[in-house]
Structure 1
Amino acid sequence: MRISNYSKYFLLAAVCCGVMNATQAQFVTNYKKAADDYYAKGDYNSAATYYEKYIGAKPGAKDGYDPYIIQKQGSSGSSTDRSDIFYRIGESYRNLTYYSSAEPAYKQVVDKGAAKYPLARYWYAVCLRADGKYQEAQQQLEQFIADYSADDVYKKQAKQELENCKFIQQQLASGSKTSVQKLDSGVNKEGASYAAAWVNDNTLSYTSTRGTYTNHIYVADAGLLSFNGLDKGQQGAAAFSADGKQIYFTAWDAKAGEGKKITAIYTAKKAGNAWGQPVLMSNTVNDPSYSSRQPFVTADGKYLLFASDRPGGMGKFDIWYVLLNANGTTGKAVNAGNVINTVEDEEAPFYHQASGKLIFASNGRTGMGGFDLYESKGTPEAKWEAVVNLGAPINSVKDDIYLISKQDKELLAEAMISSDRSSACCLELFAVSKPIEVIVKEPVKEEPPVVVAPQETPKPQVVVEDNKALLQHVLFELNSSELDEAGQAQLKEVAVYLQNHPDVKVEIGAHTDATGTKELNLKLSQSRADACVKYLAGEGIDAKRLTAKGYGDCCPLEKETADDGRDNPDARAKNRRVEMKVL
């Protein structure tokens, strides 16, 4: 049978189309395999690119094309497969902090009701909050909390995010005279620029990727700060001694797919115009199995503060510090404690010597989202006061971290922060300026002094009502079980009461505030109750008549957190109390 030339051409075209379709299908399959491999290695940028190729997404395409509307491509899998792909696209972009790209991917999963990915709604809400859609984020968080059955860290974080949404809207409604301005392109080049530090009064350094995936330390107007003999490919987050002759910095290697990234702190000294070979700091700073990073040396040179996820902390990354000895050695690493640290991350410490304030970033407190900047007054060797959020516009709905300031000026008079508020992906440097308010006082007319006869201080009485007495003068400092003079004076009156009522047995119950974990608070309250009973026994009261009981933070007298998320230190002080109960 003869086949006409027309039929031959038709058959040839059909065969070519079949080969092309098969080849295209193979390309699509290869896209998914490549994406899966990149995702497993933690290379989220490449993973997102190839997943979008697999589903037919065309980055930057116009003419009404939306890569997040499912297209008809039979070769790229079922709708169930697509939920898997969209979830991984969302996860990839979220891990890159590309929230605006992650948001529509998570929305696809949420809209399909994929029970396989219950966390998709939570991450969708986080992306909505990061994109400034607070009401929508609030609705999604409330829905997630209602639907999510597990009582785990994600439900806790969702409740925190819900408080964040309310806090954000309150902050944005309030006015502020503080100015936050992005630095020019001379510093903020393509990629990340962050973690500024003063080398001296006039020279600024910072960390930058300069459009690559490699972090290096740069000095303004001088370029790359290089070291000889350093075997780590990435360096950043530096701090300098007050004289500018010693540097402390973080170094690490970043290789996708090789497990946990361990960062460590190095130091080097300057000889002339060149930096000497960096030295890995001692094991009191660096634990070989855990990360230490973001060092800061205090202006007086006494302490090195840093962040670490080593054991013995309150959560993930905590703020720690060591004493810097004159002979170059370091003291024991000390955790900054549960006033500063939470179960989440606290990072990037900065201590402003003039104001006596510790500034740090945290993602474990009520804030505006991501990392916020907070302050606490105190010193490493003393107690830290209640932590306060620095508020808008210093904090934004994205990550705000690495605050530095000139030590000889007001904290916010000439400061810098790192933030990704105006970037799709990366931290950039911003200048912070808050005008100093000058208060002019009217001259006070002098009056002749008034002489007041000294009066005897009344003794603290013990008033028993309904078989109970609040020992209002037995108060404790934060994290302390030591009795002060006022507390001892009132316990003397308790001893008098018990001596006048020899048949009475009592329970001394101690309470803490809600700072810290339940376990730690229970232990602390028991030690406070024990201290009171020990004092009464020393006053001659039979120990068999006394019971010491610690209640922890179970029963507060007043609410310790205001509606706007700020701590109420007066309420915390009142909740740290001791009560006597007649048995």
Structure 2
Amino acid sequence: MKKLAFILPIFLLTGFLYAQKKVEVYDEDKLKHADQLFETGKYEEAIPYYEELMTKYGEVHEWLRRTGICYIFKPDEVEKSIEYLEKLLHKKPKKIEDYYYWLGRAYHINYRFDDAINAFNQALDDKNKTNADKKQEIPRWIEYCNNGKELVANKYEDITVRLVMDSINTEWDEYRPVITPDEQMMIITYRGEKSKGGLQNKVPGPFPSGEYLEDVFVAYNKQTYWTEPKSISDKINDFNNNACVSLSQDGKVMYLYSDEDGTGDLFYSHFKNGDWTYMKKFPEPVNTYSWESSASISADGKTMYFVSDRPGGKGGRDIFMSQLQPDSSWSEPVSLPFNTEYDEDCPYIHADGITLYFSSKGYNSMGGYDIFRTTLQPDGTWTAPVNLGYPINTPGDDIYFVVGGSGETGYYSSARKGGKGKHDIYQMNLSPLGYKHGVLKVNITAQANSTDTFKLQIITTENDTVAGRVFDKQTVVYLPLKNSYTFIVACDTLMQQENIDVTQESAYTEKTLTFDFTTPIAEAPQSVSITDTTTVEQQEPETINLSATTVVKAEDEIQTEAQEPIETFTPEPASEGMIFTVQIAAYRLPDNFDYSALSDLGKIDKRTLNDGITRFTIGNFSNLEQAQKLKQQVIERGITDAFITVYVNGERKLLNEVLNNQ
């Protein structure tokens, strides 16, 4: 397994000191502190100390070298790396260890690719003093330079990378943007003076230095501006590094990274009652004793793409895939075939379910991480990854890339000249890339006289539930094309449904559905349970009961008050071959359900349907009136969401469907 040493901080880096300067006692401590920062990879923090010492004592060669190296890692001032390192060109650089290697790195980060190649070749010359590990890295750096020349020569002239509005970016670090497909909410990772716990001193001594912890902040799109990012919740931000890595389509489940146990693992949190729940850690096989970080969840919530350095990959960090099982567990992760011997990171699966963006140091990267795109084919294979090109990719690390539902706008974080702080959030138009995202965007509007809250279920023609949610008047859903969908919306005790067929569509498609409950509908109401597809816990998913009345408060604060559906029809004898029964529960993990309190009412039957959910029913009656009486008894025993279902010649039917056909 090949791993390049340049991906790691430079520890105990030494060099040839040409001149000795006697410094004052106080400055000896300052020099020691600067060297300690340098040797622990805190390059930006070391710069002012070396520059202050050189102002007072002159340009000591080792201080020049170290300052030049530090500026390679200060993205907004990388040009100064050349300024400092070139001062040593007439100072017998052959005797300075790794000099030409670092000079090549300085030229590379500044787009001087030909000069970088020349410097790297000199570093390979045995006449010059180059560490053996550095020599092993140089061929790859030369490849980066050649890739950079080609990518810059084929620049996308119509793509502009620009800062997101000032309200998002500050003088501190903002990175790892996560957005909802409609681009109305953005969650970012923040590191700065507002971080919980304040500055963490990593280096002891009279010169306090260190860094702030990572916290999760959220901002909202108000069309003409973004709100100022604020801490998302005290239940999420604690005294560890916490970062949001992905979000469910409806913004109600957040996937996070935290290093609370020292190794780095993946967690999740639900938005309930106006706040996020405390994080819960994914069990094995998602998390292991290895390092797990970035993750992205498909729009249907059933496939997770995540990064780990566990065994079984191709080298360093790799992207793995795991799928949600019928019992709500996750399958054994599989290393994806496009992983390389270098590092891969930050996968992002688009709402179309087949387009995956990720960052890689392999392939034709122009240096560090570049952003690539691959597409899942019908036969389960992935297309060869394609570099998104320049100016999206640069010689530095380009990571944390996400795309809006339409595929027209991309977002990522970058530390570059012209930003407001260290790392900032940028956006870009992606239309010149010519990518078509096969996505169905559905704008759903509902209105009623009695409530502003509605329940939505989306199922395919194969009766596969792909979404379930509660919404307030309006919601937006993104779904893959090449399918036919039924949208069922419930209000109090009424339901309506609409169908959309996009089996023949191949490009971004937008539809609008309106559900009007203001006019009485002459149909029997039905109590129905919708599985909330955003649940990730390894237990029975939460259900949204369509017989409930939901009151919505500001900022999506949801409270639900269950009430008995109003029976407005007159019971009639059942048709031949029709059996009425009372459904009392539906679970993916049926062993968890305790129905002992109902055992004296009759035999409990279990039926597992094609969706993997086991339904528990009681009673088998030839007429509806008997089933209604039993249902009332079940409700009095505490099963308040019990409802009547019908089996016609062995096939399960909804009660409304049967009554309407009579």
TM-score using structure 2 length: 0.52
Q: Residues 548-571 of structure 1: CA distance to partner in whole angstroms, max 9, x if unpaired?
A: xxxxxxxxxxxxxxxxxxxxxxxx
Q: Please state whether the residue corresponding to 1:49 is helix, strand or coil.
A: helix
The correspondence of residues 37-76 of structure 1 with structure 2, limited to 5 A, is 37-56=36-55, 71=58
The correspondence of residues 109-508 of structure 1 with structure 2, limited to 5 A, is 111-114=90-93, 118-147=97-126, 154-155=134-135, 157-176=137-156, 177-199=158-180, 201=182, 202-210=184-192, 213-220=212-219, 221=227, 223-228=230-235, 232-252=239-259, 262-288=263-289, 290-337=290-337, 340-354=338-352, 356-378=354-376, 382-407=380-405, 409=406, 411=407, 413-422=408-417, 426-435=422-431
Q: Which amino acid aligns with 1:203?
A: M
Q: Please state whether the residue corresponding to 1:139 is helix, strand or coil.
A: helix
- Give the conservation status (yes or no) of the 8 Å contact 1:230–1:277: no
Identity %: 23
Q: Which amino acid aligns with 2:414?
A: S
Distance 1:197 1:267 in 2: 14
Q: Residues 426-468 of structure 1: CA distance to partner in whole angstroms, max 9, x if unpaired?
A: 33222221337799xxxxxxxxxxxxxxxxxxxxxxxxxxxxx
Q: Residues 68-89 of structure 1: CA distance to partner in whole angstroms, max 9, x if unpaired?
A: xx827xxxxxxxxx44444443
Distance 2:190 2:236 in 1: 21
Q: Which amino acid aligns with 1:332?
A: E
Cα 1:99/1:342, change in 2 over 3 Å: farther
1:489 is matched with which residue?
Answer: none
2:79 is matched with which residue?
Answer: 100
Distance 2:181 2:67 in 1: 44
Cα 1:231/1:414, change in 2 over 3 Å: closer
Q: Please state whether the residue corresponding to 1:299 is helix, strand or coil.
A: coil
Distance 1:182 1:364 in 2: 27
Cα 1:44/1:434, change in 2 over 3 Å: closer
Distance 2:111 2:94 in 1: 27
Q: Please state whether the residue corresponding to 1:361 is helix, strand or coil.
A: strand
Distance 1:229 1:169 in 2: 44
Cα 1:175/1:128, change in 2 over 3 Å: closer
- Give the conservation status (yes or no) of the 8 Å contact 1:29–1:54: no
* CA displacement at 1:350 relative to structure 2: 0.8
1:10 is matched with which residue?
Answer: none
Question: Which ranges of structure 1 fall in alignment gaps of 5 or more residues?
Answer: 1-21, 58-69, 73-81, 255-260, 440-583
1:553 is matched with which residue?
Answer: none
* CA displacement at 1:29 relative to structure 2: 1.9
The correspondence of residues 20-35 of structure 1 with structure 2, limited to 5 A, is 25-35=24-34
Structure number with the higher strand fraction is: 2
- Give the conservation status (yes or no) of the 8 Å contact 2:155–2:389: no
- Give the conservation status (yes or no) of the 8 Å contact 1:336–1:380: no
Distance 2:410 2:284 in 1: 32
Q: Residues 491-548 of structure 1: CA distance to partner in whole angstroms, max 9, x if unpaired?
A: xxxxxxxxxxxxxxxxxxxxxxxxxxxxxxxxxxxxxxxxxxxxxxxxxxxxxxxxxx
* CA displacement at 1:400 relative to structure 2: 1.6
Distance 1:302 1:380 in 2: 17
Distance 2:287 2:90 in 1: 46
Distance 1:168 1:200 in 2: 32
Distance 2:139 2:97 in 1: 16
1:257 is matched with which residue?
Answer: none
Structure number with the higher helix fraction is: 1
Distance 2:236 2:404 in 1: 32
- Give the conservation status (yes or no) of the 8 Å contact 1:237–1:295: no
Q: How many residues align?
A: 385
TM-score using structure 1 length: 0.59
Distance 2:375 2:347 in 1: 13
Distance 1:27 1:438 in 2: 60
- Give the conservation status (yes or no) of the 8 Å contact 2:97–2:130: no
Q: Please state whether the residue corresponding to 2:24 is helix, strand or coil.
A: helix
- Give the conservation status (yes or no) of the 8 Å contact 2:85–2:103: yes
Cα 1:301/1:229, change in 2 over 3 Å: closer
Q: Residues 130-189 of structure 1: CA distance to partner in whole angstroms, max 9, x if unpaired?
A: 123233223212322344798966445422332332332333333523332221211121
Cα 1:26/1:210, change in 2 over 3 Å: closer
Distance 1:24 1:144 in 2: 33
- Give the conservation status (yes or no) of the 8 Å contact 1:232–1:252: no
149-158 vs 302-311, which deviates more?
149-158
* CA displacement at 1:195 relative to structure 2: 1.6
Distance 2:163 2:275 in 1: 31
